[in-house]
Structure 1
């Protein structure tokens, strides 16, 4: 009997800002499944900060490039098309059904069908990362001859139209929502957005992204009772992360005479704007842009700081932070969280116990609580004691793995009925 296989479908891999995808793959491996990863674009493995993890988990051997092997020469393209058609003549009904689901005729669809037919087994479950990556699996399922179950995990931008600024909602997810087996989101915030797009509630399941508490923990953390208040934030330098508001908070604190340090880890398009803001406020001794860091380095910085801050804000299209994995990693390291109530961030915090949430753009509210914490350092100790319990009970990777174990088992059981 063939081993049960989880086939992940991703666009770019291993992507530095998508640690949650790597964690999901490792979850499936630890649960005992055979794992394959279909990748559209394979990134530079030698330059990857996760190379060690990829090697340790034998993930490199599981990667399959999504190459349909279509000849560039028109004559050979047509010749191979006829060859594939004859090769799969017994499955012509399935091929025609797949073609009927397309908006137009193209020789490419047979090459695509041929690539995915290799995985057409009820011993397989496809787990697609990002709704935008669902094609052609949604059409294969819609055609009616494709056996594997289909899970699609949404992560944020894939639920806001126009997607990437140009993809319209003209029935974009209709086949997925009709023929897919399960849709997952990391917070109630994102789940609500997806349901509003037409996803049946019975197919929607909320499964948070977990945090590895054996790696992110508060071991070695010193409980400082005085000195500068050290706050940190981790995330790409992008407008949705709202780093400029964290800098404005620090400016207000410094102007009021408080000794405060902000460390920002991440890289992105906003770097120059943030550097200019730091210079204008004369905060070069208070705010530090450290660029990209490895997971080991991020953990060390988290342990060395007192508080985590995330001042995420909506983009012009209304898109917001959907979960905020770094808030969980910070709390696992003993850091209380101060955040704007943006998107799904609040669902990662136990309000009043492991952190505080303020309205978007309410920098004054954050300044007020930081001043209180600065003067009453015992608050840090009390809240830090709560963070580990909160994470262990709701977001530890062990807890999340149990959820996925049940999900995968149920899908495989349905396939064998």
Structure 2
């Protein structure tokens, strides 16, 4: 198959699962191109070098000047290059009825020029649902050809719906050829919004288990319990709740230390919270780390903590990859009853759970986990097995290919693109 992946920007350090999916399809003999359509600056690979090597020269990001005047000045050159590739009839400037706001702000011309020399695809895979609008319009205009798969991953099925209302994706339900959600929680939400149940499958975000070999959990011993939290430092990840839970446990005499991996706008506030809580000797901030460094930190940790919570803008998480990686390595895990996370972390079976946004309940869950140290080896082996069976990359690739085959075997794709909306009131893509 010839497959096009569409992302906001590529590669992004927070999205190694997209690079891994592309490399795995290439390993299976398929051709994959990757396009970043949202004009954002990529943050780089966090994938294994072998994955990066397979994707060399296979991705392209669309960029346009932020100032409208500069966009307008460069438009003749962009249109000339597009016309040389596909003829004058392909120019978006001649199709305002299709591109509408993308025509008015000129971004559709920059996107079309980047897509124009690709030829037809079997599959057009939008890795975030917000990109479906762009791809459908380019398909209607004849720039793209192929069956459209729309993937719900997180912000697109939570924050975007909160901002745009329950009908924000109505234009997709009949025009797309298939849908994917990265957890059952988001699948059910999409169905509730109008997605045909027979057109959507659950395919998790895969991880490369070769990079996270299992080892038995570290015994607690007599020293401090080493805890680790990994993720973007935003309120949605609940790191402030982790710090408060740690303060409560420390006040009760528990010897705990916490390593925080990640960067984000909340870091200054978190550092101040740590200082005010008297935890400066117990908490360290390491900033963003690559996967090799994260693996080393996981191997040195007794407990992994993930306190995801619903953001003020309605954002929610699927089973996040950092939890999968910790469970794959063999680190006892404490997480929250939030989004799709309970599909991965099951109370008393593969970890422990707390109510989201509740420091007291998180402290109680951590205490519960620490008091059951004798059960850690069995719990962690079950956790590893769940990750292998549900999120191992080979299984995920099989599931994705089945989605593609079903789309290709279905009848002609819908042609209701005339009902496509003006540009969605999208939440800002994750950086």
Does the alignment pair 1:87 with 2:109?
Answer: no
Equivalent-residue separation in structure 2 for 1:291 and 1:200 (angstroms): 42
Does the alignment pair 1:209 with 2:205?
Answer: yes
**What displacement does 1:293 show?**
0.6
Q: Where in structure 2 are the equivalents of 1:131-150 lying within 5 Å?
A: 131-141=129-139, 147-150=145-148
**What displacement does 1:60 show?**
2.2
Q: Is the 8 A contact 1:10 1:128 kept in 2?
A: yes
Which residue does the alignment assign to 1:336?
A: 332
Which residue does the alignment assign to 2:127?
A: 129
Identify the match of residue 361 of structure 1 among 351, 354, 357. 357
Equivalent-residue separation in structure 1 for 2:330 and 2:273 (angstroms): 30
Gaps spanning 5+ residues in structure 1: where?
none
**What displacement does 1:201 show?**
1.9
Q: Where in structure 2 are the equivalents of 1:241-320 lying within 5 Å?
A: 241-320=237-316
What are the Cα deviations for residues 24-79 of structure 1, in whole angstroms up to 9, with x where unaligned?
2222222221111112447468x65448345422x121123436999844994799
Equivalent-residue separation in structure 2 for 1:85 and 1:54 (angstroms): 31
State TM-score, norm by structure 2: 0.82
SS of residue in 1 equivalent to 2:18:
helix
Q: Which moved more, 1:34-43 or 1:278-287?
A: 34-43
RMSD: 3.6
**What displacement does 1:119 show?**
4.1
Equivalent-residue separation in structure 2 for 1:286 and 1:130 (angstroms): 38
Give the number of the structure with larger relative contact order, counting CA–CA contacts within 8 Å between residues 6 or more apart.
2
Q: Is the 8 A contact 1:225 1:377 kept in 2?
A: no
Equivalent-residue separation in structure 2 for 1:21 and 1:105 (angstroms): 26
Gaps spanning 5+ residues in structure 2: where?
414-431
In structure 2, do the counterparts of structure 1 residues 372 and 67 end up closer, same or farther at CA, with 3 Å as the change threshold? Answer: closer
Q: Where in structure 2 are the equivalents of 1:18-29 lying within 5 Å?
A: 18-29=15-26
SS of residue in 2 equivalent to 1:312:
coil
In structure 2, do the counterparts of structure 1 residues 49 and 322 end up closer, same or farther at CA, with 3 Å as the change threshold? Answer: closer
Does the alignment pair 1:6 with 2:7?
Answer: no
Equivalent-residue separation in structure 1 for 2:86 and 2:160 (angstroms): 40
In structure 2, do the counterparts of structure 1 residues 369 and 173 end up closer, same or farther at CA, with 3 Å as the change threshold? Answer: closer
Q: Where in structure 2 are the equivalents of 1:180-195 lying within 5 Å?
A: 180-195=176-191
Equivalent-residue separation in structure 2 for 1:358 and 1:258 (angstroms): 18
Equivalent-residue separation in structure 2 for 1:176 and 1:55 (angstroms): 32
Task: Determine which structure has more spread, i.e. the larger CA radius of gyration.
Answer: 1
What are the Cα deviations for residues 232-283 of structure 1, in whole angstroms up to 9, with x where unaligned?
1110100000001111111111111111111111010111111111111111
SS of residue in 2 equivalent to 1:276:
helix
Q: Is the 8 A contact 1:31 1:405 kept in 2?
A: no
In structure 2, do the counterparts of structure 1 residues 370 and 133 end up closer, same or farther at CA, with 3 Å as the change threshold? Answer: same
In structure 2, do the counterparts of structure 1 residues 227 and 383 end up closer, same or farther at CA, with 3 Å as the change threshold? Answer: farther
State TM-score, norm by structure 1: 0.84
SS of residue in 2 equivalent to 1:326:
helix
In structure 2, do the counterparts of structure 1 residues 276 and 407 end up closer, same or farther at CA, with 3 Å as the change threshold? Answer: same
Which residue does the alignment assign to 1:52?
A: 49
Q: Which moved more, 1:189-198 or 1:31-40?
A: 189-198
Does the alignment pair 1:39 with 2:39?
Answer: no
